[in-house]
Structure formats: structure tokens, C-alpha cells
Structure 1
């Protein structure tokens, strides 16, 4: 299976990886508001859940960054 470039000039697999990275980072940022909302309502269980989800997305973004770097800078 090839990593076709479609209309973007970027390989599909690289594009998909960038998309995962973007959405993980965007989600982590958005969850800060969810955490504040839950804390303002006094719902510590829900705030903790949102913190956990944010941490998972941050870890996912970190993994995507490593994989993207490896794709863009393959060992010689």
C-alpha cells in the first residue's frame, strides 16, 4: 500500500498523523474550559474526568510528535 498524496501534496499517512496531532492538541486546550466549568459547578468528579481526558490527549499528542518527527527525518 502506498502513501498517496491526494490533493494536498502530503502523504495520506503523514496528513493523518498531523490531523491526529492537531485534534489532540486542540482537545487538550478545549478541556481546560470543561475543567473550569465543572469546578465552577462544584463537580470535582467531572473535573477530574476532564483532567484525565486532557492528560490522555496530551500523551497522544506527544506520541504523534515523535512519530511525525521520525517520518519527516528518517534515519539515513
Structure 2
């Protein structure tokens, strides 16, 4: 589904909203991975726990990159 909303309704341009959404998704995923890590640890599956820890790290990294990019772009708009 393609929307033609470009900020008139939300007050936030799509490209900026997309970065905000991306950061939220990364942070949400990092939180979700914490549960998955705990499940794997309880099951004694170190390989799976380590896999989820790496995924969590990548989610954190994506969130940090997105926050920096958003900050730069919003700072440039002022």
C-alpha cells in the first residue's frame, strides 16, 4: 500500500518519520531479543543465546546510527 502522505497530516516529512520509525523498531527489537536470550539461557542453549545477543547488538547499533542521522537532519533543518 502506497500512501501519498508527505507530512501534511502528521507535520513530519516521510523521510524523517521513516528514520524515527526505524529507530523505534531497532529499540523494540533489542528489547525483544532480551526475552529470547533469557529463553535460550533457560534452555541451556548457549549458541542460540549468543546468536540473539549478536542480533541485539546489531539492533542497538542500528538505533544509534538512526538517532545520529535524525539528529543531524533535524539540526540542519533549524
Check whether TM > 0.5.
yes
Q: CA deviation at 1:7?
A: 2.4
TM-score with structure 1 setting the length: 0.90
Matched, 1:74 2:67: no
Q: Could you list the runs of 5+ residues in structure 1 that have no partner in the other structure?
A: none
CA RMSD of aligned residues (A): 1.5
Matched, 1:7 2:5: no
TM-score with structure 2 setting the length: 0.88
Instruction: Say which is worse superposed, 6-15 or 22-31, in terms of deviation.
Output: 6-15
Structure 1 counterpart of 2:50, from 48, 51, 55? 48
Where has structure 1 moved over 6 Å in runs of 4 or more?
A: none
| Cα distance in 2, alignment partners of residues 12 and 43 from structure 1 | 41
Aligned length: 73
